[in-house]
Structure 1
Amino acid sequence: MTTITTKDGTNIFFKDWGPKDAQPIVFSHGWPLSADAWDAQMVFFANQGFRTIAHDRRSHGRSDQVWDNNNMDQYADDLAELIEQLDLKDVIFVGHSTGGGEVTRYIGRHGTSRVAKVALIGAVPPLMLKTEANPDGLPIDVFDGIRKGTFDNRPQFFKDLTLPFYGYNRDGAAVSEAVRDEFVRQGMNGGLKGLLDSIRAFSESDFNEDLKKFDKPTLVLHGDDDQIVPIGAAALSTVKIVKQAVLKVYEGGSHGLTITEQDRFNADLLEFINS
């Protein structure tokens, strides 16, 4: 396995495909998945001449399952160590869901000196949790329910979660049982403690100040039928903060649009990268 070891001794697994001297695209996955969620994008963009890299977040996939430090600051610092150890420059960041938060916090903590462009896909910033200052967010009860479902019967909860995740609960949806099974497989590879901690990380992290530090071209892409990260408190709020942001909305699009609309998504991301 290809790994780096972080300063706190955690082994982070990553994939590194395509020509090593090409411009890198770094993909950050959503909860509770792993780098495998990006396989189709990695192959597509490697075939377009890019170096494609995706890692398993700590306590997810094949990376070490740690008891402490499963939080957004540490995720961003792990990403920084990966980029620095591989000496990546002119990076194109692509972050989905929690991965969009990870990328956003990376910029907030480490700046954009190594960054060329950013794509936030169904991403959690600026803040998922409903507060007085964020009335469009989701109430804490929603996230408590995710915690309970994950703790009580993780495989069943993950299987059920695929229905709203991919929009499979909508009339006329073409349901893939294989995609549902793969979601469960990736989720079950993570450590339970780390996945539980990550729920707080993706739901309660406030990215408003991080987004204000964006100074690179940014694509904000979101489905308007995203049942996991509703577009109002996410993409529509992000583009009000990031001056360089271009908003692209998929009508009827789900949270899992990188899978359900794979070819369209790959083409739109390539167009943004080449623009």
Structure 2
Amino acid sequence: MGYFVTVESDVDLYVEDLNPKGSKTIVFLHGWPLSHEQFEYQFNVLPAMGYRCIGVDWRGFGKSDKPFEGYTFDRLADDIRVLVDALQLNNFTLLGHSTGGAIAIRYMSRHSGFGVSKLVLVDAAAPIGFTAGTADDFLKEVLNDRPKMMQTVTDGFFFQYITKPFSDWFMQMGFRAASWSTAAIINTLRDEKLYSDLPFIHVPTLIIHGIHDKVIPFDQARELNQKIMSSQLVPFQYSGHGAFWEERDKFNQLLAQFV
């Protein structure tokens, strides 16, 4: 079931809500520059296991509204808080991939983890995101040749082989974002740091990270594990930045056990 939730007077977020009567709820925050559709291989399985799965497109991405402003971690975390209130969510698992992991961490600190009982960070862009050099390269491409940028993102995303049709599908997710929101998040990933947020995470936390990740180095997962209380790190030996797809069976089983 898909619907929109108003988070500001002129901004509606798209929500895909699968198995609303499920016994446990997982809220999925996608990575940059994708959408909730990246979790297709979770949504195929977990609702049938009895879980309510809520996929959210952040502002500027997927099917959500695309305002010109509002792409700081604070604002994106505030959007999630409005969504949580609107849907009256409580005792749910918050899962964030890549930049979605950074947004989840900011939510935990800025909103005291309101309603969250467990946290899952998947190849999280934390405690830092892009280096200045990487950000500059992406910005140049997104402002001049966004299809080339999406090809660059896709080429560096996965460790395992992907087919041409899969690559095309993956790239189309990125093209559904606005170019201005795509660029704004690059700046956010370059400029914002999350070190001071980590001590505010007090719920059981599962950290999943591909050891071959070329986007966010595995060492950052180790650092999160050291600095987040009650966290456990599970390395994915055959994954790059896309553990949710590259080792999807293991990923889904692990998530079901943790939740």
Q: Tell me the TM-score normalized by structure 2.
A: 0.95
2:167 match:
180
Structure 1 residue runs of 4 or more that deviate by more than 3 Å after TM superposition: none
What's the CA shift for 1:79? 0.7
Over aligned residue pairs, what C-alpha RMSD do you find?
A: 1.4
The 2-side partners of 1:145 and 1:242 are apart by 31
1:97 match:
98
2:206 match:
219
1:5 match:
6
The one-letter code sitting in structure 2 at the alignment partner of 1:64 is D
The 1-side partners of 2:20 and 2:177 are apart by 29
Q: Which of 190, 194, 209 is the matching residue for 2:177?
A: 190
Secondary structure of 1:120's partner? strand
1:258 match:
244
The 2-side partners of 1:23 and 1:269 are apart by 12
The 1-side partners of 2:4 and 2:236 are apart by 35
2:234 match:
248
1:156 match:
148
- 2:40 corresponds to 1:39: yes
Q: Which stretches in structure 2 are left out of the alignment for 5+ residues? A: none
The 1-side partners of 2:238 and 2:26 are apart by 27
The 1-side partners of 2:225 and 2:110 are apart by 20
8 Å CA contact 1:72, 1:202 repeated in 2: no
The 2-side partners of 1:7 and 1:153 are apart by 31
Secondary structure of 2:121's partner? strand
The 2-side partners of 1:156 and 1:84 are apart by 39
What's the CA shift for 1:61? 0.8
The 2-side partners of 1:269 and 1:23 are apart by 12
8 Å CA contact 1:225, 1:253 repeated in 2: yes
1:142 match:
134
What's the CA shift for 1:8? 4.1
Q: How do 1:107-118 residues align onto structure 2 when only pairs under 5 Å count? A: 107-118=108-119
2:158 match:
166
The one-letter code sitting in structure 1 at the alignment partner of 2:258 is F
What's the CA shift for 1:258? 0.9
Q: How many residues align?
A: 258
The one-letter code sitting in structure 2 at the alignment partner of 1:157 is M
Q: How do 1:117-136 residues align onto structure 2 when only pairs under 5 Å count? A: 117-129=118-130
What's the CA shift for 1:21? 5.4
1:86 match:
87
Secondary structure of 1:212's partner? helix
What's the CA shift for 1:186? 0.7
1:210 match:
197
The one-letter code sitting in structure 2 at the alignment partner of 1:4 is V
The one-letter code sitting in structure 1 at the alignment partner of 2:166 is V
8 Å CA contact 1:224, 1:249 repeated in 2: yes
Change (3 A) 1:14 1:201: same
What's the CA shift for 1:100? 0.2
Q: Percentage identity across aligned positions? A: 28
8 Å CA contact 2:18, 2:43 repeated in 1: yes
Secondary structure of 2:200's partner? coil
Secondary structure of 2:239's partner? coil
What's the CA shift for 1:9? 2.4
Q: Which stretches in structure 1 are left out of the alignment for 5+ residues? A: 130-138, 168-172
What's the CA shift for 1:252? 4.0
The one-letter code sitting in structure 1 at the alignment partner of 2:230 is Q
The 1-side partners of 2:118 and 2:39 are apart by 18
* 82-91 vs 42-51, which moves further: 42-51
What's the CA shift for 1:211? 1.3
User: Residues 136-178 of structure 1, C-alpha deviation per residue, up to 9 Å, x if partnerless?
Assistant: xxx31111101111222111221232121012xxxxx433212
The one-letter code sitting in structure 2 at the alignment partner of 1:260 is E
8 Å CA contact 2:236, 2:247 repeated in 1: no
User: Residues 120-147 of structure 1, C-alpha deviation per residue, up to 9 Å, x if partnerless?
Assistant: 0000111135xxxxxxxxx311111011
The 2-side partners of 1:128 and 1:34 are apart by 18
